[in-house]
């Protein structure tokens, strides 16, 4: 079972921060709040819309789930300590807005930055609002690198997609410990947004939920196109994130 594996078998046994910082402390960091690699884009105004409409139409899903992922115009500076020095990392705020049968389920604000020149995208935490009947009932899963021992993870490496690679996406003990494993490449994917080639599959697990596996597919130039039963419907530019009425 994935959750039974020792943490030491996964990459990033030490902080990944140093690989993306310059050797001289007086130099500016190499993190940027905008940029892209083939599978993950931090382009302000970019919005991807997903739903499980085909699963519902086939009778395999009971409720219509919809998800809007918007790269906002907002940034957030994250303070981290490295070798006794405080580093300020500029991150991009990416909002996820999720509904079920039209009812708001969750809004999260995720903090990402891209490391230059290797273009790995790092994950620095998220704010989470869980909704029931139109009201916030919880913030489960929220974490922030630099607080309570949490460290940044890698959300998507650059084009060198190596089968079998494993790494932590989230590094907040007892709160968020998602791990990724590269399991397939050269895939052809047909989703409502179109037919795509040269795609890759990433399986996500967490020791906090032993046995649970989330399957995601990413395609060059598009990024995430499938998350479980959720499929990419359309991509919009110059979009604003959805808001609560």
Specify the pTM: 0.89
Which spans in the chain are helix H?
A: 53-57
The residue behind tokens 């604000």 is: 109
Return the DSSP state at 169: S
- Mark 20-35 as b/e (b = at least 16 C-beta within 10 Å): bbeeeeeeebebbbeb
Q: What is the pLDDT along the chain (245 residues), one digit of tens a residue?
A: 233 333 334 444 334 555 555 444 444 448 999 999 999 999 999 999 999 999 999 999 999 999 999 999 999 999 998 788 888 999 999 999 999 999 999 999 999 999 988 899 999 999 999 999 999 999 999 999 999 999 999 999 986 678 899 999 999 999 999 999 999 999 999 999 999 999 999 999 999 999 999 999 999 999 999 999 999 999 999 999 999 97
Return the DSSP state at 50: E
Reference 219, options 40, 99, 75; nearest CA is: 40
Which whole-number Å values give the CA distances from 185 to 46, 90, 167, 197, in the listed order?
25, 31, 17, 10
């Amino acid at each position: 079972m994935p959750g039974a594996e020792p943490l030491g078998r996964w990459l990033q046994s030490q902080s990944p921060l140093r690989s993306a910082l310059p050797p001289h402390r007086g130099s500016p960091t190499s993190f940027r709040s905008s940029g892209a690699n083939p599978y993950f884009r931090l382009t302000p105004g970019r919005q991807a819309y997903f739903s499980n409409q085909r699963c519902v139409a086939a009778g395999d899903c009971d409720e219509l789930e919809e998800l809007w992922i918007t790269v906002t115009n907002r940034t957030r500076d994250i303070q981290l300590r490295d070798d006794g020095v405080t580093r300020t990392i500029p991150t991009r705020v990416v909002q996820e807005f999720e509904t079920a049968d039209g009812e708001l389920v969750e809004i999260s604000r995720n903090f990402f930055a891209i490391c230059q020149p290797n273009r790995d995208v790092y994950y620095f935490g998220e704010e989470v609002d869980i909704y029931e009947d139109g009201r916030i009932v919880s913030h489960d899963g929220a974490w922030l690198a630099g607080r309570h021992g949490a460290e940044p993870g890698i959300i998507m490496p650059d084009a060198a997609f190596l089968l079998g690679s494993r790494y932590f996406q989230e590094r907040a003990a007892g709160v968020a410990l998602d791990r990724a494993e590269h399991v397939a490449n050269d895939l052809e994917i047909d989703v409502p947004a179109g037919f795509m080639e040269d795609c890759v599959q990433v399986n996500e697990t967490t020791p906090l939920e032993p046995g649970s596996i989330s399957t995601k597919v990413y395609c060059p130039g598009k990024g995430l196109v499938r998350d479980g039963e959720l499929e990419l419907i359309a991509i919009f530019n110059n979009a604003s994130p959805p808001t609560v009425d």
